[in-house]
Amino acid sequence: MKRILVIDESPLLRQYLKEKCEGFGFQVILAISGLDGLSKIYSALPDVIIMDFNLSRMTGSEILLQKAQSPNVKDIPVIVIAQPHIIHQISKTKKINITKLIPKPIKIDALVDALAGILNVPLDVDLSPCIIDVHLNENVLFIEIAKGLNKDKIDILKYRILELIQIYKVDKPKVLVIMSDLNITEADNQKLALLFNSILDTIGFRQDSMKILTKSPLVTAFLRTESSFRDIEVAERLEQIMDNIFNLKVSQFVPDGKTVLKQDLIKGGGTGQTKASELELKFDREQDKVPSFAAPHIRKKLKIAVVDDDEFIQDFIESAFAETGWSVKKYNNGKEFIQALATHQFDLVFLDIIMPELDGFEVLDYLKKERIEVPVIVLSAVSQRNTILKAISFGVNSYLIKPLDVGLILKKTQSIFKRNF
């Protein structure tokens, strides 16, 4: 039996990788720190090492340098997991002999492919079409599922839910599962059971805290016939279950018939989380495709303003539009942006809420008073309802919660320009 040593300081990720590798029939040894990892490299003599590069008590570089100097272990293959911004630097480091570098968050199919290639054994992942996303907002876990069901992604979903609950210390969260555009048959009932059991397991099997939004008759019939899930509320329209989720009427969320707030609460991101996940719910095979903005109805070179006191956010949004050829102007606060309006016109504004000099609300108030009509996407680490409602009252086009996602930025932008051009 092949032995795999996992060196990682995250108990959740260690457990996930242990279960994943044991499912392939491997023996798994776990190490909780760099020093523990080096000790077990010598004692266990594993066939493969999977290790995080950022470790305590001994860094990834120190482990690899000591390993390279030991004749007994220097040839053991190593898969190193690291943040994207240091991967290039690691790859240039001499004398550490890394077999494979995998960026965080980990795309499990890339890791499985690396193991299969190193060990020369066939290893498969479920390639069933499936899109899953999960985020936390107002102590409610929003889980979106589309296209189909995928066993490997359901396993990652359980990890991600536990991760969110642990990071934000959420006690007894409510869950809204939104299942749309599903292409499934009765043959997928086993995956449905796995999905619902995995979610219930993470929240203490409290069926009254879990709601399902779906128009799939197969899902509804499954929930009604399976005794384990009969107490889970199912609805076809969000309005039917919104009161139970947020304890508010939909009319309070969507003033004057607007629907953008309802959409952003569900799809706009999480709770302003500052810690990125270790695992990705997308596969490496599913590289994000940048939406095509070169549509016939958009002829001109568009001008975008990014108003945020965080330079990282400025650069992140600028890089999101790198392939469009559009102009992206960056401003550190609302005052700089308002001064620029004297000489510049913009087609879209990304606007932070909390900034020095002039905050986002003061900028929105200025635009309204001066009757400057420009699409605005508000972005902030603040996700409280009253903050979102206040932004919506100014007529903003969308609301994104930090940390930001390139795919979502592009989709929101494309949607706005389809309406305005």
Q: What is the pLDDT of residues 282-313, one digit of tens each?
A: 898 876 544 454 444 454 688 999 999 888 78
Given a cut of 80, whether residue 323 has pLDDT beyond it is no
* Separation of alpha carbons 195 and 236, rounded Å: 19
411 inside domain: yes
Q: Answer yes or no: do 355 and 325 share one domain.
A: yes
Q: Indicate if the pLDDT at residue 239 is higher than 70.
A: no
pLDDT at 205 over 90: no
Pick from 90, 89, 223, 88: nearest CA to 78: 90
Q: What percent of the chain has pLDDT over 70?
A: 82
The confidence band for 420, taking pLDDT boundaries of 50, 70 and 90, is: low
Average the pLDDT over 148-170 and give the result: 94
pLDDT-derived band at 61, boundaries 50, 70, 90: very high
Largest distance between two CA atoms of the chain: 74
Are β-strands 78-82 and 48-52 bridged in parallel, bridged antiparallel, or unpaired? parallel
Tokens of 322: 């790198």
Distance CA(297)–CA(383), nearest Å, equals: 34
Average pLDDT in the 147-159 region?
96
Q: What is the pLDDT of residue 403?
A: 64
38 has pLDDT over 70 = yes
Q: DSSP per residue over 320-333, as a string?
A: HTTTTT-EEEEESS
Domains held by the chain: number: 3
- Inform me whether the pLDDT recorded for 271 exceeds 50: no
User: Are 154 and 106 found together in one domain?
Assistant: no
Q: Which long-range contacts (CB under 8 A, 24 or more apart) does 281-290 make?
A: 281/132, 281/133, 281/134, 281/153, 281/156, 281/157, 281/160, 282/107, 283/107, 283/108, 283/109, 283/110, 283/125, 283/127, 284/107, 284/109, 284/110, 284/113, 285/109, 285/127, 288/406, 288/407, 290/323, 290/410
- The residue-averaged pLDDT of 10-19 equals 97
Q: Answer whether residue 7 shows pLDDT above 70.
A: yes
Domain of residue 333 covers: 303-420
Residue 250: the pLDDT is 41
Report the C-alpha gap between 370 and 364 in whole angstroms: 10
> Are 183 and 129 a contacting pair, CB within 8 Å?
yes
Q: Which residues pair with 177 in a beta bridge?
A: 143, 212
**Has residue 102 been placed in a domain?**
yes
- Looking up residue 370, the CATH number of its domain turns out to be 3.40.50.2300
Q: Would you place residue 224 in the very low, low, confident or very high pLDDT band (cuts 50, 70, 90)?
A: very high
pLDDT (mean) for 239-258: 50
Looking at residue 161, its pLDDT comes to 95
Dihedral sign of CA atoms 231, 232, 237, 242 in order: positive
Query: What's the mean pLDDT in 54-65?
Result: 93
Residue 289, in any domain of the structure: no
**Are both 203 and 316 inside the same structural domain?**
no
Q: What is the pTM of this model?
A: 0.69
pLDDT score for 343: 94
* Helix %, strand %, coil % of the chain (to 5): 40, 20, 40
Mean pLDDT value of segment 142-169? 93
Q: Are strands 398-401 and 376-380 parallel, antiparallel or unpaired?
A: parallel
Of 134 and 390, more confident: 134
* Segment 28-57 mean pLDDT: 96
Q: Are 112 and 135 within one domain?
A: no
The DSSP annotation for 367-407 comes to HHHTT----EEEEES---HHHHHHHHHTT-SEEEESSP-HH
Q: Looking at residue 169, what DSSP letter applies?
A: T
For the chain, the average pLDDT equals 84
**pLDDT tens digits, 326-344:** 999 999 999 999 999 999 9
3-state secondary structure of 117: helix
Could you tell me if residue 124 is inside a domain? no
Higher pLDDT, 250 or 369: 369
pLDDT at position 72: 95
| Model confidence band, residue 198 (pLDDT cutoffs 50, 70, 90) | very high
What is the C-alpha separation between 220 and 56, in angstroms, rounded?
Answer: 48
291 falls within a domain:
no
In Å, what is the CA distance from 50 to each residue of 72, 115, 241? 18, 9, 44
Rounded Cα distance, 341 and 336, in Å: 9
Domain end point (choices 85, 119, 153) = 119
pLDDT tens string 342-374 = 999 999 999 998 888 899 999 999 999 999 999
Same domain, 142 and 69: no
Whether residue 137 is found in the same domain as residue 262: yes
User: Three-state SS for 203?
Assistant: coil
- 77 and 48 in a common domain: yes
Helix axes 151-167, 108-119, angle to 10 degrees: 120
Q: Per-residue pLDDT averaged across 26-33, rounded?
A: 98
Examine the domain organization and report whether 413 and 356 are in the same domain.
Answer: yes
Q: How confident is the model at residue 144 (pLDDT cuts 50, 70, 90)?
A: confident
- As given in the structure block, the two tokens for residue 307 are 């108003």
Q: If you average pLDDT over residues 49-75, what whole number do you get?
A: 94
CA distance 44 to 67: 13
Instruction: With respect to residue 125, please indicate whether it lies within any of the assigned structural domains.
Output: no
